[in-house]
């Protein structure tokens, strides 16, 4: 009988050791898991799902292939739990101006728990995404520069051609069955001044060169830029505005660029100059722009970025014949999702390997 009790004790000790080992590996697996939340539909994304998520099967596979440690969770923007527990958040939204399908400011902030280490945005601009944790460095914020470069640059050239070829009047004449020949312009040898020679500005310059335009523009660090005839610092902007047939705002909103275009700058432009803003609305003082358009200091404007969005229904811009309004979607493209996931996966791989992330946002500089 004592022999049986001895065997039983040995068996129990063996089971206990096995349970301990299993528990150890279970704890280790949890500790090694990287919980990733995806929330908010990228603005301009054309294939959202009915459940208000957006990743396609190819995107999910692409993300999970990075590492077996990744636990991927999709959360609709309006269903963020009260206390989410994620190390990484792949987010769209968090802006004080809320768009359907995106995270609003309050739900964006919910993700900022003690577990959070990194937020990857689906956008380039991040002025509304700065939180105390981002400021103190406990959470790294990265953006996605370049995802909108192609479609926005194409939209800029489209706006130029629309203006030069008077397509609006063509449509009016067609509607009225009015067979009238018009005096149109060319882009050939016209001068475009690009404020902000970043990704979008440089792509715009390349397209403009295809029309044999003269391209000039501003850059924080003055250096040669492909397809740009003259690069100059921002403090020389007013000196060159009078040369431009087209002025394109492609700069981010920073303390230095906020309201950089005021009455003196608009007065310095030609009366035939066409103004295009695909950057940020607050780069131009809105009252000064309204006055410039109303009093014909400039010929017109293509406005994709506005200081207040959505634009209030009683805003003067709605009724201006020389304004083309675009609801901040000049970047619309069927390829947005693929480009965003490529950028995220590039950074996620670096994160898993313990390497420094790319495209880290500096909240104090604004870029």
Q: Mind telling me the catalytic residues?
A: 280, 309, 328
Q: Are 40 and 102 in contact (CB under 8 A)?
A: yes
Tokens of 75: 């959360």
Tell me the DSSP string of 182-206: ------TT-EEEEE--SHHHHHHHH
Collect all residues with Cβ–Cβ distance below 8 Å to 279 and sequence separation of at least 6.
195, 196, 249, 250, 251, 252, 253, 257, 305
Q: Are 39 and 101 in contact (CB under 8 A)?
A: no
| Phi, then psi, of 172 in degrees rounded to 5 | -65, -45
CA dihedral 95, 100, 102, 103 (to 10 degrees): 70
Tell me the DSSP string of 84-100: ---SEEEE-EEESS--T
Q: Are 283 and 253 in contact (CB under 8 A)?
A: yes
In order of 39, 101, 120, 149, 282, the CA distances from 47 in angstroms are 15, 12, 20, 20, 30
| Phi, then psi, of 267 in degrees rounded to 5 | -70, -25
Return the closest-CA partner of residue 228 out of 199, 206, 251, 250. Answer: 206
Tokens of 249: 């705002």
């Amino acid at each position: 009988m004592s022999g049986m009790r001895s065997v039983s004790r040995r068996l129990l000790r063996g089971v206990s050791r096995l349970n301990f080992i299993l528990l150890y590996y279970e704890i280790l697996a949890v500790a090694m898991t990287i919980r990733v939340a995806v929330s908010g539909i990228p603005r301009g994304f054309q294939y959202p799902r009915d459940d208000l998520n957006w990743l396609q099967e190819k995107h999910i596979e692409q993300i999970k292939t990075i590492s077996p440690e990744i636990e991927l969770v999709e959360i609709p923007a309006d269903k963020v739990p009260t206390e989410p527990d994620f190390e990484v958040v792949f987010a769209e939204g968090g802006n004080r101006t809320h768009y359907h399908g995106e995270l609003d400011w309050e739900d964006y902030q919910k993700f900022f728990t003690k577990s959070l280490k990194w937020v990857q945005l689906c956008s380039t601009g991040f002025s509304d995404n700065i939180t105390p944790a981002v400021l103190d460095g406990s959470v790294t914020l990265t953006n996605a520069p370049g995802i909108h470069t192609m479609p926005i640059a194409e939209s800029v050239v489209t706006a130029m051609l629309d203006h030069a070829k008077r397509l609006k009047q063509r449509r009016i004449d067609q509607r009225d069955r009015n067979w009238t020949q018009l005096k149109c312009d060319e882009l050939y040898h016209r001068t475009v001044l690009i404020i902000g020679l970043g990704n979008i500005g440089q792509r715009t310059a390349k397209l403009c060169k295809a029309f044999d335009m003269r391209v000039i523009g501003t850059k924080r660090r003055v250096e040669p830029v492909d397809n740009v005839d003259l690069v100059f610092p921002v403090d020389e902007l007013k000196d060159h505005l009078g040369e431009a047939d087209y002025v394109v705002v492609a700069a981010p909103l920073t303390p230095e660029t906020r309201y950089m275009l005021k009455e003196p700058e608009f007065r310095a432009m030609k009366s035939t100059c066409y103004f295009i803003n695909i950057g940020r609305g607050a780069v131009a003082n809105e009252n000064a722009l309204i006055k410039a358009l109303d009093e014909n200091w400039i010929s017109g404007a293509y406005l994709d970025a506005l200081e207040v969005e959505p634009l209030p229904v009683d805003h003067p811009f709605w009724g201006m014949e020389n304004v083309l309004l675009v609801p901040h979607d000049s970047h619309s493209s069927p390829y947005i999702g693929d480009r965003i996931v490529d950028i995220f996966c590039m950074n996620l791989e670096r994160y898993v390997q313990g390497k420094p992330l790319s495209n880290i946002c500096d909240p104090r500089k604004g870029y």
